Homo-oligomer: A and B are copies of this chain.
């Protein structure tokens, strides 16, 4: 009998589910908009049933369902505390979905799921320890030590975005309420914000004539390539801050790899050089020589594959 896992990546806008082989190959996947109503669990159940039907596999060939969700997992209650998905937050989703689907449900924080995906089959394969940071609206992350996700006692570990890199009184204010979190400097959104703030202070740039609300990192990188001095400064600072984060993590955890994901890594040639230059200037010798700084490989599938991988691991451990 063949074995499959269903991976689900639950986002604020879309939910995606896929049938995944035990080797991590996505055999079929489908995406639906995430509904805002409380029947979100029904929709997840429907989507799971749909991908199983479409791939034409039997229910008893499914060894488990892994779901990556935004927000900290309440492992005890099988729920998630998600400000991004208020319709799901606090719902005993594991119990509900186990009842609806009949499958064993494995919840994982989405950033941890993506980290596990990269560890299993992406840029982190063939190693036993890594740190991953996803650069988007904020900076999410995950840590693998000895082949295991470091979840922390409350399953909240891996909040790389809220590692401090500026203790000064004038440090940037983070959404979490603290000042100086790396997220407020080096996420994609923070990079855009820093750029726009300088425009608002009257700095000149080839992007000056653009609608400030529409300037994205794609535009800033284009200006960077043109040698636009504000764009160069802005991107350099993003790279420098990420290099500092890499150095702190190498010194602290001595992992084999540091992996970056997120749309901003499309400009990996530029970004990686800046990160690595700063990293090399700072890091201690032995962990610095060891740690590779790499771009993620699984792109948008990391979360789905990783959620399935975590469910597979739970299944294998239980056997």
Contacts and interface: CB of A to CB of B under 8 A. Distances in A.
Nearest to A162: B251
B286 A164 contact: no
Most buried by B among A153, A178, A179, A284: A153
Contact of A157 (B151, B154, B252): B252
A167 B242 CA distance: 11
B254 A155 contact: yes
Contact of A159 (B129, B165, B281, B284): B284
A255 B166 contact: no
Nearest to A141: B252
A282 B129 CA distance: 28
A154 B252 contact: no
B244 A167 contact: yes
A275 to B, nearest CB: 13
A166 to B, nearest CB: 5
A148 interface: yes
Interface in A141-191: 143, 145-146, 148, 150-160, 162-168, 176-180, 185
A156 B248 contact: no
A240 to B, nearest CB: 7
Given A148-B146, A153-B290, A254-B153, A248 B176 contact: no
Contacts of A9: none
Nearest to A129: B153
B164 A165 contact: yes
A152 to B, nearest CB: 2
Contacts of A12: none
B153 A256 contact: yes
Interface in A57-88: 72, 81
Given A151-B254, A162-B247, A166-B167, 5 more contacts: A152-B254, A159-B254, A159-B287, A163-B248, A166-B168
